[in-house]
Structure 1
Amino acid sequence: MGVDGVSRQPAPLGQAGVGPQADLHDFPGGTIRFLDTLLSATQPFPLVFFCHYPLLNSPISGTHSFSPQEYDRIVSLLYPHRSQVRLWIAGHLHRQADYPITNRATGETLGRCVETPANKEVVQGQFRLFRVWGDATQASALAYYPNSKTEPLGYRLWTLTGQLLYEGPRPPSLSDWPEGVYLLQEQTAQGLRVRAFFVTGTR
Protein backbone atom coordinates (compact mmCIF):
# COMPACT_ATOMS: atom_id res chain seq x y z
CA MET A 1 0.00 0.00 0.00
CA GLY A 2 1.14 3.55 -0.65
CA VAL A 3 1.93 5.91 2.23
CA ASP A 4 1.99 9.63 1.42
CA GLY A 5 4.60 11.24 3.66
CA VAL A 6 5.64 14.10 1.39
CA SER A 7 5.53 17.58 2.88
CA ARG A 8 3.46 20.33 1.28
CA GLN A 9 5.74 23.05 2.67
CA PRO A 10 7.88 24.90 0.10
CA ALA A 11 11.57 24.09 0.00
CA PRO A 12 13.77 26.53 1.93
CA LEU A 13 15.85 29.33 0.42
CA GLY A 14 13.73 29.56 -2.70
CA GLN A 15 14.68 26.11 -3.98
CA ALA A 16 12.35 24.17 -6.25
CA GLY A 17 9.94 21.62 -4.82
CA VAL A 18 9.12 20.93 -1.19
CA GLY A 19 11.17 20.62 1.98
CA PRO A 20 13.10 17.44 2.90
CA GLN A 21 11.17 16.58 6.08
CA ALA A 22 8.41 13.99 6.07
CA ASP A 23 4.85 14.79 7.14
CA LEU A 24 2.21 12.42 8.54
CA HIS A 25 -0.64 14.76 7.49
CA ASP A 26 -2.46 14.40 10.80
CA PHE A 27 -5.90 15.72 9.85
CA PRO A 28 -9.19 14.10 8.77
CA GLY A 29 -8.46 12.03 5.68
CA GLY A 30 -4.69 12.47 6.14
CA THR A 31 -2.05 9.77 5.94
CA ILE A 32 -1.66 8.76 9.58
CA ARG A 33 -5.41 8.65 10.18
CA PHE A 34 -5.89 6.61 7.01
CA LEU A 35 -3.29 4.12 8.29
CA ASP A 36 -4.95 4.08 11.71
CA THR A 37 -8.34 3.26 10.18
CA LEU A 38 -6.92 0.68 7.80
CA LEU A 39 -4.79 -1.11 10.39
CA SER A 40 -7.50 -1.12 13.04
CA ALA A 41 -9.13 -3.87 10.98
CA THR A 42 -7.85 -7.41 10.56
CA GLN A 43 -5.42 -7.71 7.66
CA PRO A 44 -5.49 -11.18 6.07
CA PHE A 45 -2.49 -10.63 3.77
CA PRO A 46 1.22 -9.79 4.18
CA LEU A 47 1.75 -6.03 4.36
CA VAL A 48 4.12 -4.21 2.00
CA PHE A 49 4.31 -0.40 2.16
CA PHE A 50 5.66 2.07 -0.39
CA CYS A 51 6.67 5.49 0.87
CA HIS A 52 9.03 8.18 -0.36
CA TYR A 53 10.57 8.35 3.13
CA PRO A 54 12.34 5.50 4.95
CA LEU A 55 11.54 4.44 8.51
CA LEU A 56 14.76 5.51 10.21
CA ASN A 57 15.22 4.64 13.87
CA SER A 58 17.47 7.59 14.65
CA PRO A 59 17.32 10.54 17.06
CA ILE A 60 18.09 12.91 14.17
CA SER A 61 15.90 11.23 11.54
CA GLY A 62 13.50 14.17 11.44
CA THR A 63 16.02 16.14 9.39
CA HIS A 64 15.39 14.06 6.28
CA SER A 65 12.63 11.64 7.24
CA PHE A 66 10.04 11.08 9.96
CA SER A 67 10.90 12.44 13.40
CA PRO A 68 11.47 9.91 16.22
CA GLN A 69 7.97 10.69 17.52
CA GLU A 70 6.45 10.11 14.07
CA TYR A 71 8.49 6.92 13.69
CA ASP A 72 7.10 5.63 16.99
CA ARG A 73 3.57 6.52 15.94
CA ILE A 74 3.86 4.60 12.66
CA VAL A 75 5.47 1.59 14.36
CA SER A 76 2.72 1.57 17.01
CA LEU A 77 0.18 1.11 14.20
CA LEU A 78 2.25 -1.60 12.53
CA TYR A 79 3.06 -3.46 15.74
CA PRO A 80 -0.28 -5.28 16.19
CA HIS A 81 0.26 -6.67 12.67
CA ARG A 82 3.97 -7.42 13.18
CA SER A 83 3.61 -11.02 12.01
CA GLN A 84 2.35 -9.72 8.65
CA VAL A 85 4.53 -6.62 8.15
CA ARG A 86 7.12 -7.52 5.51
CA LEU A 87 8.61 -4.50 3.73
CA TRP A 88 8.67 -0.71 3.91
CA ILE A 89 10.11 0.32 0.54
CA ALA A 90 11.47 3.86 0.36
CA GLY A 91 13.82 6.29 -1.36
CA HIS A 92 14.57 9.95 -0.58
CA LEU A 93 18.16 9.44 0.64
CA HIS A 94 19.28 7.96 -2.71
CA ARG A 95 21.19 5.06 -1.20
CA GLN A 96 21.03 1.29 -1.13
CA ALA A 97 20.11 0.11 2.36
CA ASP A 98 18.26 -2.75 4.03
CA TYR A 99 17.62 -2.87 7.78
CA PRO A 100 14.99 -4.08 10.27
CA ILE A 101 12.12 -1.93 11.49
CA THR A 102 12.41 -1.87 15.27
CA ASN A 103 9.89 -1.16 17.98
CA ARG A 104 11.98 1.15 20.16
CA ALA A 105 9.87 0.40 23.25
CA THR A 106 10.27 -3.40 23.12
CA GLY A 107 13.33 -3.90 20.89
CA GLU A 108 11.34 -6.27 18.67
CA THR A 109 11.72 -6.14 14.91
CA LEU A 110 8.82 -6.16 12.48
CA GLY A 111 9.67 -6.41 8.82
CA ARG A 112 12.43 -4.55 6.98
CA CYS A 113 12.93 -1.13 5.50
CA VAL A 114 14.52 -1.36 2.06
CA GLU A 115 15.83 1.81 0.41
CA THR A 116 16.44 2.35 -3.28
CA PRO A 117 19.16 4.69 -4.64
CA ALA A 118 16.86 5.85 -7.43
CA ASN A 119 17.85 9.31 -8.65
CA LYS A 120 17.04 10.72 -12.07
CA GLU A 121 19.03 13.90 -11.44
CA VAL A 122 22.54 12.43 -11.61
CA VAL A 123 24.51 10.68 -14.32
CA GLN A 124 24.94 7.51 -12.27
CA GLY A 125 21.35 7.41 -11.04
CA GLN A 126 20.02 3.95 -10.29
CA PHE A 127 16.74 2.30 -9.55
CA ARG A 128 15.84 -0.88 -7.76
CA LEU A 129 13.43 -3.55 -8.93
CA PHE A 130 11.53 -5.43 -6.26
CA ARG A 131 10.17 -8.88 -6.87
CA VAL A 132 8.29 -10.00 -3.79
CA TRP A 133 7.03 -13.57 -3.61
CA GLY A 134 5.71 -16.26 -1.29
CA ASP A 135 4.82 -14.75 2.07
CA ALA A 136 6.78 -11.61 1.10
CA THR A 137 9.74 -12.45 3.33
CA GLN A 138 12.03 -12.35 0.29
CA ALA A 139 12.71 -9.54 -2.14
CA SER A 140 15.05 -9.24 -5.09
CA ALA A 141 18.49 -7.68 -4.90
CA LEU A 142 19.46 -4.36 -6.45
CA ALA A 143 19.09 -4.20 -10.20
CA TYR A 144 21.31 -1.57 -11.83
CA TYR A 145 20.39 -0.31 -15.29
CA PRO A 146 22.89 2.12 -16.85
CA ASN A 147 21.88 4.58 -19.54
CA SER A 148 24.21 3.66 -22.39
CA LYS A 149 24.19 7.23 -23.73
CA THR A 150 25.28 9.00 -20.55
CA GLU A 151 26.35 6.52 -17.90
CA PRO A 152 29.50 4.44 -17.55
CA LEU A 153 29.17 0.90 -18.86
CA GLY A 154 32.14 -0.42 -16.92
CA TYR A 155 34.61 0.58 -14.22
CA ARG A 156 38.26 -0.06 -13.41
CA LEU A 157 39.96 1.09 -10.23
CA TRP A 158 43.74 1.58 -10.30
CA THR A 159 46.45 2.57 -7.86
CA LEU A 160 48.91 5.28 -8.90
CA THR A 161 51.48 2.52 -9.42
CA GLY A 162 49.30 0.86 -12.06
CA GLN A 163 47.83 -1.99 -10.01
CA LEU A 164 44.30 -2.93 -11.09
CA LEU A 165 42.16 -3.32 -7.95
CA TYR A 166 38.67 -3.65 -9.36
CA GLU A 167 36.90 -4.23 -12.66
CA GLY A 168 33.14 -4.52 -13.06
CA PRO A 169 29.87 -3.08 -14.37
CA ARG A 170 29.08 -1.08 -11.22
CA PRO A 171 31.04 1.58 -9.30
CA PRO A 172 33.42 0.15 -6.68
CA SER A 173 32.63 0.74 -3.02
CA LEU A 174 35.08 3.23 -1.50
CA SER A 175 34.76 1.53 1.88
CA ASP A 176 36.59 -1.51 0.46
CA TRP A 177 39.90 0.30 -0.01
CA PRO A 178 42.46 1.79 2.42
CA GLU A 179 43.37 5.46 2.57
CA GLY A 180 45.17 6.66 -0.53
CA VAL A 181 44.91 8.16 -4.02
CA TYR A 182 43.15 6.14 -6.73
CA LEU A 183 42.28 6.44 -10.39
CA LEU A 184 38.79 5.43 -11.49
CA GLN A 185 38.49 4.60 -15.18
CA GLU A 186 34.96 4.74 -16.61
CA GLN A 187 34.07 3.20 -19.96
CA THR A 188 31.31 5.22 -21.63
CA ALA A 189 29.69 5.20 -25.05
CA GLN A 190 31.86 8.21 -25.91
CA GLY A 191 35.12 6.63 -24.75
CA LEU A 192 37.18 6.46 -21.56
CA ARG A 193 36.97 8.89 -18.67
CA VAL A 194 39.48 8.88 -15.81
CA ARG A 195 38.94 10.44 -12.39
CA ALA A 196 41.43 10.77 -9.55
CA PHE A 197 40.20 10.80 -5.97
CA PHE A 198 41.52 10.50 -2.43
CA VAL A 199 40.09 8.04 0.08
CA THR A 200 40.49 9.26 3.66
CA GLY A 201 40.58 7.20 6.82
CA THR A 202 37.64 9.15 8.31
CA ARG A 203 34.98 8.31 5.72
Structure 2
Amino acid sequence: MGSEHSVFLPPWEAETEAEKARADDFRAAVKSLSNSTANFLVPHVLSSDPAFTWDWVEHRPFAEAAYQSDERLTKLIPRLVPSRISEEDFWRNYFSHVFAVKRRFEAEAAAPEPSDLAPSCSSAASGAGVRTAAPQPPAMLKSASSLATVSYPEKFHLAVHYANHGPPLPSLSDADRILLEALQMQAAPWQL
Protein backbone atom coordinates (compact mmCIF):
# COMPACT_ATOMS: atom_id res chain seq x y z
CA MET A 1 0.00 0.00 0.00
CA GLY A 2 1.69 3.14 -1.19
CA SER A 3 1.08 6.50 0.25
CA GLU A 4 0.88 9.72 -1.69
CA HIS A 5 3.48 12.39 -1.14
CA SER A 6 3.02 15.95 -2.27
CA VAL A 7 5.98 17.75 -3.73
CA PHE A 8 5.86 21.51 -3.50
CA LEU A 9 7.96 23.38 -6.01
CA PRO A 10 9.36 26.87 -5.53
CA PRO A 11 7.43 29.63 -7.34
CA TRP A 12 10.05 30.03 -10.07
CA GLU A 13 9.18 26.65 -11.58
CA ALA A 14 7.23 27.32 -14.78
CA GLU A 15 3.59 26.20 -14.72
CA THR A 16 1.76 27.85 -17.60
CA GLU A 17 2.55 27.57 -21.30
CA ALA A 18 3.71 31.21 -21.34
CA GLU A 19 6.11 30.52 -18.47
CA LYS A 20 7.34 27.25 -20.00
CA ALA A 21 7.99 28.92 -23.35
CA ARG A 22 10.51 31.21 -21.65
CA ALA A 23 11.35 29.07 -18.64
CA ASP A 24 14.86 30.44 -18.12
CA ASP A 25 13.67 34.06 -18.29
CA PHE A 26 10.76 33.27 -15.99
CA ARG A 27 13.00 31.52 -13.45
CA ALA A 28 15.47 34.42 -13.51
CA ALA A 29 12.70 37.01 -13.09
CA VAL A 30 11.17 35.29 -10.06
CA LYS A 31 14.52 34.46 -8.46
CA SER A 32 15.64 38.08 -8.88
CA LEU A 33 12.80 39.15 -6.55
CA SER A 34 14.94 38.10 -3.58
CA ASN A 35 17.56 40.66 -4.61
CA SER A 36 15.45 43.46 -3.16
CA THR A 37 14.34 43.68 0.46
CA ALA A 38 11.47 45.94 -0.64
CA ASN A 39 9.78 42.98 -2.37
CA PHE A 40 9.26 41.46 1.08
CA LEU A 41 8.36 44.61 2.97
CA VAL A 42 5.90 46.16 0.51
CA PRO A 43 3.27 44.31 -1.53
CA HIS A 44 3.11 44.74 -5.28
CA VAL A 45 0.31 47.00 -6.53
CA LEU A 46 -1.34 43.94 -8.06
CA SER A 47 -1.89 42.50 -4.57
CA SER A 48 -5.31 44.17 -4.69
CA ASP A 49 -6.15 42.38 -7.95
CA PRO A 50 -9.04 39.95 -7.35
CA ALA A 51 -7.07 37.23 -9.15
CA PHE A 52 -4.35 37.38 -6.48
CA THR A 53 -5.43 35.07 -3.71
CA TRP A 54 -3.49 34.59 -0.53
CA ASP A 55 -3.87 31.86 2.01
CA TRP A 56 -0.94 31.43 4.39
CA VAL A 57 -1.72 27.77 5.06
CA GLU A 58 -1.97 27.00 1.35
CA HIS A 59 1.13 28.99 0.38
CA ARG A 60 3.35 27.92 3.27
CA PRO A 61 4.67 24.72 1.57
CA PHE A 62 5.61 26.78 -1.51
CA ALA A 63 7.28 29.36 0.73
CA GLU A 64 9.27 26.59 2.40
CA ALA A 65 10.31 25.23 -1.01
CA ALA A 66 11.50 28.69 -2.01
CA TYR A 67 13.29 29.17 1.31
CA GLN A 68 15.13 25.86 0.95
CA SER A 69 16.15 26.58 -2.67
CA ASP A 70 17.18 30.25 -2.56
CA GLU A 71 20.17 31.17 -0.42
CA ARG A 72 19.23 34.87 -0.47
CA LEU A 73 15.91 34.05 1.19
CA THR A 74 17.64 32.16 3.99
CA LYS A 75 19.57 35.34 4.74
CA LEU A 76 16.63 37.75 4.41
CA ILE A 77 14.19 36.07 6.76
CA PRO A 78 16.28 36.34 9.94
CA ARG A 79 17.04 39.99 9.12
CA LEU A 80 13.40 40.98 8.55
CA VAL A 81 11.16 38.57 10.49
CA PRO A 82 9.81 39.45 13.04
CA SER A 83 11.70 42.68 13.71
CA ARG A 84 10.32 44.53 10.64
CA ILE A 85 7.49 42.33 9.36
CA SER A 86 5.56 39.21 10.30
CA GLU A 87 6.43 36.00 8.50
CA GLU A 88 2.98 35.82 6.94
CA ASP A 89 3.22 39.38 5.58
CA PHE A 90 6.79 38.71 4.40
CA TRP A 91 5.55 35.85 2.24
CA ARG A 92 2.31 37.59 1.19
CA ASN A 93 4.36 40.48 -0.17
CA TYR A 94 6.80 38.14 -1.89
CA PHE A 95 4.03 36.13 -3.55
CA SER A 96 2.32 39.35 -4.69
CA HIS A 97 5.52 40.13 -6.62
CA VAL A 98 5.61 36.56 -7.97
CA PHE A 99 2.00 37.08 -9.11
CA ALA A 100 3.09 40.27 -10.94
CA VAL A 101 5.87 38.38 -12.74
CA LYS A 102 3.39 35.67 -13.74
CA ARG A 103 0.97 38.31 -15.03
CA ARG A 104 3.73 39.99 -17.02
CA PHE A 105 4.66 36.71 -18.72
CA GLU A 106 0.99 36.05 -19.54
CA ALA A 107 0.60 39.55 -20.99
CA GLU A 108 3.76 39.27 -23.06
CA ALA A 109 2.68 35.89 -24.44
CA ALA A 110 -0.75 37.27 -25.35
CA ALA A 111 0.62 40.41 -26.99
CA PRO A 112 0.83 40.38 -30.80
CA GLU A 113 4.26 40.11 -32.34
CA PRO A 114 5.90 43.54 -32.91
CA SER A 115 5.77 42.94 -36.67
CA ASP A 116 1.96 42.71 -36.38
CA LEU A 117 1.79 46.10 -34.66
CA ALA A 118 4.49 48.01 -36.55
CA PRO A 119 3.15 50.82 -38.65
CA SER A 120 4.86 51.13 -41.99
CA CYS A 121 5.84 54.06 -44.07
CA SER A 122 6.67 54.40 -47.76
CA SER A 123 10.11 55.25 -48.86
CA ALA A 124 9.72 58.62 -50.54
CA ALA A 125 13.16 58.43 -52.11
CA SER A 126 12.58 55.26 -54.10
CA GLY A 127 8.91 55.80 -54.89
CA ALA A 128 8.71 52.00 -55.10
CA GLY A 129 6.63 51.66 -51.96
CA VAL A 130 9.33 49.96 -49.91
CA ARG A 131 8.03 49.59 -46.38
CA THR A 132 10.17 49.89 -43.30
CA ALA A 133 9.03 49.16 -39.78
CA ALA A 134 9.14 51.93 -37.23
CA PRO A 135 10.97 51.17 -33.98
CA GLN A 136 8.60 49.54 -31.50
CA PRO A 137 8.59 49.83 -27.73
CA PRO A 138 9.39 46.76 -25.67
CA ALA A 139 6.49 44.36 -25.18
CA MET A 140 5.91 45.74 -21.68
CA LEU A 141 4.65 49.05 -23.12
CA LYS A 142 2.04 47.60 -25.43
CA SER A 143 -0.71 48.34 -22.94
CA ALA A 144 -0.89 50.95 -20.25
CA SER A 145 -2.20 48.43 -17.74
CA SER A 146 0.93 46.30 -18.06
CA LEU A 147 3.06 49.25 -16.91
CA ALA A 148 1.86 48.70 -13.34
CA THR A 149 3.64 45.33 -13.30
CA VAL A 150 7.00 46.71 -14.40
CA SER A 151 9.76 46.92 -11.80
CA TYR A 152 11.90 50.04 -11.54
CA PRO A 153 14.96 48.60 -13.35
CA GLU A 154 12.68 47.74 -16.27
CA LYS A 155 11.10 51.21 -16.10
CA PHE A 156 14.61 52.63 -16.45
CA HIS A 157 15.11 50.66 -19.67
CA LEU A 158 11.69 51.77 -20.88
CA ALA A 159 12.74 55.35 -20.24
CA VAL A 160 15.88 54.82 -22.31
CA HIS A 161 13.70 53.43 -25.09
CA TYR A 162 11.32 56.36 -24.70
CA ALA A 163 14.24 58.81 -24.82
CA ASN A 164 15.63 57.21 -27.97
CA HIS A 165 12.39 56.51 -29.82
CA GLY A 166 10.06 58.75 -27.81
CA PRO A 167 6.59 59.97 -28.36
CA PRO A 168 3.88 59.02 -28.96
CA LEU A 169 2.63 57.00 -26.02
CA PRO A 170 -1.01 58.10 -26.01
CA SER A 171 -2.39 55.38 -23.74
CA LEU A 172 -0.32 56.32 -20.69
CA SER A 173 -1.83 58.00 -17.68
CA ASP A 174 -0.43 61.37 -16.64
CA ALA A 175 1.33 59.77 -13.65
CA ASP A 176 2.99 57.15 -15.85
CA ARG A 177 4.01 59.77 -18.40
CA ILE A 178 5.56 61.95 -15.68
CA LEU A 179 7.39 58.93 -14.25
CA LEU A 180 8.75 57.98 -17.67
CA GLU A 181 9.85 61.55 -18.34
CA ALA A 182 11.66 61.65 -14.98
CA LEU A 183 13.28 58.31 -15.73
CA GLN A 184 14.16 59.61 -19.21
CA MET A 185 16.06 62.47 -17.59
CA GLN A 186 17.94 59.95 -15.43
CA ALA A 187 18.60 57.76 -18.44
CA ALA A 188 19.83 60.58 -20.69
CA PRO A 189 23.55 59.98 -19.96
CA TRP A 190 23.11 56.35 -21.06
CA GLN A 191 21.65 57.11 -24.46
CA LEU A 192 23.66 56.13 -27.49
Bigger fraction of residues in helix = 2
TM-score range, shorter chain: under 0.3
**Structure 1 length as normaliser, TM-score?**
0.26
**Structure 2 length as normaliser, TM-score?**
0.27
* Relative contact order, higher structure (CA 8 A, sep 6+): 2
